[in-house]
Amino acid sequence: MRQFVVLGHDAPTTPDFALDDLAGAAGRLDVLCRCVNSAFFLSHAIREDVRAHLVLADSFTVTFEGRDLRRLNPDERSTAALIRNALERREDAIGHQPVESSPGVSIRRRGFEATLDALDGTLIHLHEDGTPVVDVEPPADPVFVLSDHHDFTSDETDLLTDRADARVRLGPQALHADHAITVAHNYLDTEGFRSY
């Protein structure tokens, strides 16, 4: 199982945003949609053994479960509609119980720290000062933590410094979160068949 946690600092926590302005009024939801795309799509298939968690403004977490996904399409707009559907069910998410809003998509009332608490696996902090990925033994169940268009806040960095099992960099260039997911997959596809 490969997991990705993506922090959406400005992401909406209510469903009243327009699909026509994802990069503006919807708080750069376009970034999170591309991360979902990178996490799941192969040329003619979905990566079933993947789970992606979008942490929306440290309030709600929308989880995509590869094994159960049915209506995911590659474009940003349709993925944003799935996130909006999840947010329409936010009032039904009581305590830490998830609510499934469409096949393979669920929402929980849970911020970043509680999301990390709940995940099993080897926590990997992607960081430009980390160990080059080619020098790291691919873990069996990696959990990659990424940030949207903003850097991690100092509190988030402190939490990751405390919790992460490894700090890794994917290459000499700092990448967008969705590109980092694609590169991480390729690295594991090519080098690390342990996780499959």
Q: Which is nearer to a copy of itself, 84 or 108 (CB)?
A: 84
Nearer residue to a copy of itself within complex by CB, 31 or 107: 31
Query: Does residue 154 bind a copy of itself (CB under 8 A)?
Result: no
What is the closest distance, in whole angstroms, from the C-beta atom of residue 179 to a copy of itself in the complex? Answer: 5
Burial class (CB in 10 A: 0-12, 13-18, 19+), 194: exposed
> Nearest 5°: CA angle at 83, between 80 and 85?
110
Compare residues 3 and 106 and give the one whose CB is closer to a copy of itself: 3
Q: Which lies closer to a copy of itself via its Cβ, residue 54 or residue 93?
A: 54
Residue 126 β-bridge partners: 168
Measured CA to CA, the distance from residue 39 to residue 32 in angstroms comes to 10
Among 134, 140, 155, 165, binds a copy of itself (CB under 8 A): 134
| Span 12-71, contacts to a copy of itself by CB under 8 A | 19-20, 22-23, 30-31, 34, 37-38, 41-44
Name, in order, each residue with C-beta under 8 angstroms of 68's C-beta and a sequence gap of 6 or more: 103, 104
Residue 174 near a copy of itself by CB under 8 A: yes
Find tokens 């469903």 and name the residue.
15
81, 114, 119, 183: residue in contact with a copy of itself (rule CB under 8 A): 183
Based on the shown chain and the rule CB under 8 A, indicate whether residue 182 belongs to the binding site for a copy of itself: yes
Nearer to a copy of itself, 77 or 194 (CB): 77
State which of residues 76, 98, 142, 164 lies at the interface with a copy of itself (CB under 8 A).
Answer: 76
Q: Is 131 in the site for a copy of itself (CB under 8 A)?
A: no
Which helix H or strand E contains 160, and what residues bound it?
A: helix 154-163
Alpha carbons within 13 angstroms on the beta-carbon side of residue 97 total 7
- The alpha carbon of 177 is separated from its chain's Cα centroid by a whole number of angstroms, namely 9
Both structure tokens of 52: 């992606």
Region from 54-62, 105-113, 118-126, 186-194 binding a copy of itself, contact rule CB under 8 A? 186-194
What is the Cα–Cα distance from 54 to 43, expressed in whole angstroms? 23
Is residue 167 at the binding interface for a copy of itself, with CB under 8 A as the rule? no
- In the complex, the smallest distance separating the C-beta of residue 174 from a copy of itself, rounded to whole angstroms, is 4
CA 49 to chain CA mean position, Å = 14
